[in-house]
Structures are given as structure tokens and as C-alpha cells.
Amino acid sequence: MLFQLNAFPRRQFGRELQLIILLALPMMVAQLAQVGMGFVDTVMAGQLGAQDLAAVGLGSSIFVTFYVTLIGIPTALNPILSHLFGAKRHEELAEEARQGIWLSLLLGLAAMVAMWLLTIPLRAKLQLHAYTVNTTVLYMFGVSLGLPAAIVQRALQAYTAALNRPQAVMWIGLVGLLLNIPLNYILMHGLFGMPRLGGAGCGFASAAVYWFNALVLWIYLSKSRYFKAFGLHQNWSLPRWSRIKPTLVLGFPISLSFFLEVSLFSFIALLIANLGEHYVAAQQVVIVITSMIYMLPQTLGAATSVRVGQTLGSGERVRAYYVSGVGLCAGIGGALITASLLIALREPLLHLFTQDSMVIATGMSLLLFAAVFQIADSTQTIASGALRGYKITKIPMLIHAIAFWMLGLGVGYALAFFAGWGLYGFWTALVISLTVAAFALTYYLVYVGRRRAAL
């Protein structure tokens, strides 16, 4: 078979599938908790009025672009630390983790300053009500304070996943989500002597939660008997370029891949702005729904990356190739379920967000497109994760650049405005681009896996 799924006894398939799911599930809950913070911010800001809602929406979209791009760097720690864990090189693993945390902290600080500087031209360019502009700028200043902690937390999350213990990240993320609600309310309304910040209070509350999550996770790792054995908190060292550089080199293409994907949807939203408000609204709602669903293949891809790295580190190259196939099977199975649910539940899902009949009608069509590309999206995401397990990130980045920007954006623009397909032209191109990416990445994964395993 293609991924040698018959190379091991059938019970090994179930065992590997279980290991991938046990790694992915806590990470998925933690991701959903973080996305839930954005949902809570949007709902609570909306209670203050349209201006606060617009400010939080604009500011959070800028923050998410920074955040999603940057987390590609600590994501590179997944295969690096997994290889060392599989090889039982625990002292080296701890030092790599320490240097990865330093790198994440420095990148987070740089991004925080970049967001502050961005508010200067943004204030000058935004043609909105003065209150909305001021609230947007203040929100960006507040939420940017959490960027260093947010990126460090991702490095710590990679550390826990590589050591097969990501459960703490899940519980801390859920507590942080619950904490975000009262903090939002206090800062929005100025309770207990705090300044009344309106929608901007959501930014400061989110920053506080990011620091809470990172610090609690750090303390937990220092106290846990299991993690203490690996010595992360012992012999703390200063940043060393010789150690940081490999993580940066491996992580930069991942960051660029993440940016290409998140910016694709941002550009489509801008390009369709003149087609009509109900098109814009429908796309926004569908993107929210599909973003939540995307957490499944994203975390399965991260878990597959860890398991591939661990097996390669222990010298089991044939098993690493086998694990890649198990991960893809898990993703396809999950995609069949999510596609079926999207088709069956698309109307009630849309009614959760809006009662506008035109928005719902357009959203119903877009969710059909989303259902169609579930398998392709899951496959390309998990294949990318498996290739990261092999410490390969440059070729996937190039594939994503061609698929997302040349096909997704370029072909989409031609279909939308030259062929006259409008919004559906872009979504047709999304199906094409994700399908091409899935085939290309799977083909390359098979090539790499078979070559490394000498099959």
C-alpha cells in the first residue's frame, strides 16, 4: 500500500491512531479556547455598539495576522524536540527548548513594538469616526502587550507535545477563556477603580490572559514531577545564536506558509467588498465556521508531526513513514465527518449568526464549497505536518505559495471578475488550490518518506 499501512500488524494502526488522537485532542481544545476568546471579545464588544464592535474586529484581525504568522517559529520546535525525545537526548532537548523560548520571547517583543508603530499610519489612514479610530488604536496597544507571552506559550506547548503531555495546555487554556469574560467586563465598564476603556478593554484583557496562560504553564512545568526530569528549568542559559539559528531557519518557511493562508482570506474579503454587503457578511460567517472546523486537521497535523519526529529520532524510519499514512487516514476520516455535518447542518449553523435571508442563502452555497474542500484541506494540512516531522519546510512553503496565491487568489480573481462568477469564483478557486496543494504535498511526502525509509 502507498504508506505501507500493511507493514505492521493491524493493531499497530489502532495504536498509532490512538497516540495521534491523544496528542491532538488537548491541543485542539486549547486552540478552540483561544479562538473562543476572540468570539467572546466580539460578542461583548457588540453589546457596547457598532463602533466598539468595528474597532475590536479591525484590531483583532491585525493582531491575528501577527500572531498566526509568528507561531510558525515555535511550531518548528515540534519536530526538533520530538527528534531529541525519540533519541532520548534529554539534556540537549532541554537546551533546545530553552533557546526556543528565548527566540519566541524576542520575536514576541519585536512584534509588540511593530504593532505599536503600525498604529501611527493606521490612525492617519482610517476614514472612520474618531471614537472608532481611537478605540482601534487603544485595542491594538493593549492586545499587543500579550504577544510575547502568546508566542512563548506556543513554544511551551510544543515542548509539552514533544514529551507526550499536552493535557495541561488544554486545562490552562479553558481557565484562561473563563477568566477573559470577567476581565473584559471590568475593563470595558471601568469597575473596581479601573479606567473605562470600552471595546479597547478587550485588548488589555486578552493580553492579561495570555500572560496568565504562559506563566501558569511555566510554573506547572517547573513543579510537575514528569517534566522536572527533563531539566528545562535547570542550568538556564542565555540566548545562543548557534542554537537559535536552526529553529529560525526551519520555522521561517512555516511562518510564511501560515501567513500565505491567513492573508489569502483577508485579500479575498477586501476584493469582494464592492460586490454587496450580504456577500461580505456571508463570507465572514462562513470563514468563522470553517476556521473552527480547521482546528481538527491543524491539530492532527501537529500531532502527526510530533509522532513522525519521535519515530525518526528513535531510528524507526519505516515506522515514521507508516505514521504519516495513519495521520492522513485520521484526517480523511475526520474530514468526511465534518463535510457531512456541514451539508446537514448548514442552515441552522448560519441561523446562529444571522437572520438575514440573503446572507443565509449565500452562506448556504458557500458552505457547500467548504464541504467539498474538507478532504483536500485536511490532507494538505496533515501532509505539511508530517513533512515538518521530517524537518522539511521549504518545499511545502513553495507549494503553498503557488497553490494559495497563484491559484487561490489569481485564478479566483479571474473567475470572479473576468468570468463573472463573483464571490463563487473565489470559492471555486479555493477548492482548486486546496486540491492541488493536497496532491502536491502528499506526492512529496510519499517521495520523502519512501526515500528515508529506503523502500
User: SS3 of 236, please?
Assistant: coil
Task: Give the tens place of pLDDT for each residue, 149-201.
Answer: 999 999 999 999 999 898 999 999 999 999 999 998 899 888 887 888 888 88
pLDDT at 385: 94
pLDDT at 195: 81
**pTM score, whole prediction:** 0.87
Task: Give the tens place of pLDDT for each residue, 278-330.
Answer: 777 777 778 878 888 999 999 999 999 999 999 999 889 989 999 999 999 99
Give the CA distances from residue 130 to residues 60, 124, 141, 224, 371, in Å, rounded to whole numbers and listed in that order: 18, 11, 17, 50, 41
Reference 311, options 8, 100, 1, 101; nearest CA is: 8
The low-confidence residues of the chain, meaning pLDDT below 50, are none
Reference 217, options 168, 150, 146; nearest CA is: 168
CB 392 within 8 A of CB 386: no
* Cα 176 from Cα 193, distance rounded (Å): 23
Residue 274 makes CB contacts below 8 A (sequence gap 6+) with none
User: SS3 of 233, please?
Assistant: coil
Contacts 24+ apart (CB under 8 A), 419-425: 422/272, 422/275, 422/279, 423/272, 423/275, 423/279, 423/282, 423/283, 423/362, 423/366, 424/365, 424/369
pLDDT at 82: 92
pLDDT at 9: 62
Reference 76, options 449, 392, 406; nearest CA is: 392
pLDDT at 127: 67
Q: Where are the alpha helices (DSSP H) in 87-223?
A: 90-125, 130-144, 147-162, 167-189, 201-223
Q: Which residues of 125-137 are buried (b: 16+ CB within 10 A; e: fewer)?
A: eeeeeeebbbbbb
pLDDT at 6: 63
Residue 246 CB-half CA count within 13 A: 13
